[in-house]
Amino acid sequence: MYKRILTVVITAMIFLAGCSFDAERDNPLDPQSEHFSPGGKISGDITSLSGTGLPDVLVTVEPGLKGSITDNNGYYCLSNIEDNTYTMTITAEGFEQEQDTVIVTAGNSIMKNFILNALPQFNSFTVTSAHIFESSGGDDFFQLKLEASITDTDPNDLPGIAYYTYNSTPDTMFYQGSLSKYTRILTFQKEDEDEISNLIGVSFVCSVSDEHGAQVFSGPTQLVRIINASFPTNLTTFSPNNYTYVSSQPTFQWAPPGNMGLFNYQYRMTVYRVEGDVQVYQRAFADSVFNYELSDYTLSPVVHYWTIQLEDMFGNYSRSPKMYFVAQ
Single-letter amino acid, residue 14: I
When the pLDDT of each residue in the chain is averaged and rounded to a whole number, the result is: 88
CA distances from 228 to 35, 118, 119, 257, 262 (A): 83, 43, 40, 9, 12
Pairing of strands 114-116, 161-166: unpaired
Kindly tell me if the per-residue pLDDT of 14 is higher than 60: no
Give CA–CA dist 196/130, Å, rounded: 11
Nearest by Cα to 199 from 144, 149, 152: 144
What pLDDT shows up at residue 220?
Answer: 96
Q: Where are the domains of the chain?
A: 2-116, 121-222, 244-327
The 10 Å CB-count burial string (b at 16+, else e) for 251-277 is ebebeebeeeeeeebbbbbbbbbeeee
Q: Mean pLDDT throughout 60-85?
A: 94
Model confidence at 290, in pLDDT bands (50, 70, 90)? very high
Q: What is the predicted pLDDT for the residue at 35?
A: 52
Report the alpha-carbon distance of residue 68 to residue 195 in Å, rounded.
Answer: 56
Q: Please, which residues have CB within 8 angstroms of residue 226's CB and are 6 or more apart in sequence?
A: 129, 131, 142, 193, 196, 197, 200, 316
Distances 192 to 41, 175, 184 between C-alpha atoms, Å:
68, 27, 18
pLDDT (0 to 100) of residue 42: 96
Q: Are 99 and 92 spatial neighbours (Cβ–Cβ below 8 Å)?
A: no
Q: Fold for 244-327, please state it.
A: Immunoglobulin-like (2.60.40)
Q: List all residues 6 or more positions away from 192 whose beta carbon is below 8 Å from its beta carbon.
A: 142
What per-residue confidence (pLDDT) applies to 237?
A: 81
DSSP string, 79-105: EEEPSEEEEEEEE-TTB--EEEEEEE-
- Identify the band that residue 167 occupies on the pLDDT scale cut at 50, 70 and 90: confident
Confidence of residue 250 (pLDDT cuts 50, 70, 90): very high
CATH of 121-222, one of 1.10.238, 2.60.40, 3.10.450, 1.10.287: 2.60.40
More confident residue, 135 or 78: 78
Poorest-pLDDT segment among 172-176, 258-262, 292-296: 258-262
Q: Give the mean model confidence (pLDDT) for residues 68-85.
A: 95
Helix extents (H) in the chain? 2-17, 193-197
What confidence tens digit (pLDDT) does each residue in 201-241 have? Answer: 999 999 999 999 999 999 999 999 999 877 766 677 899 99
Least confident of 4-13, 140-149, 165-174, 318-327: 4-13
- Rounded CA-CA distance 245/303 in Å is 9
Give the mean pLDDT of 167-175: 91
Torsion angle, alpha carbons of 297, 301, 302, 308, to 10? 30
pLDDT, position 15: 41
The model scores a pTM over 0.85: no
Contacts of 203 (CB under 8 A, 6+ apart): 166, 220, 221, 222
* Alpha-carbon span 208 to 199, nearest angstrom: 22
**Fold that domain 2-116 belongs to in CATH:** Immunoglobulin-like (2.60.40)
Nearest to 30 by CA among 65, 72, 74, 82: 82
- The answer to whether 2-116 and 244-327 have equal CATH topology is yes
Is the pLDDT score of 9 beyond 90? no
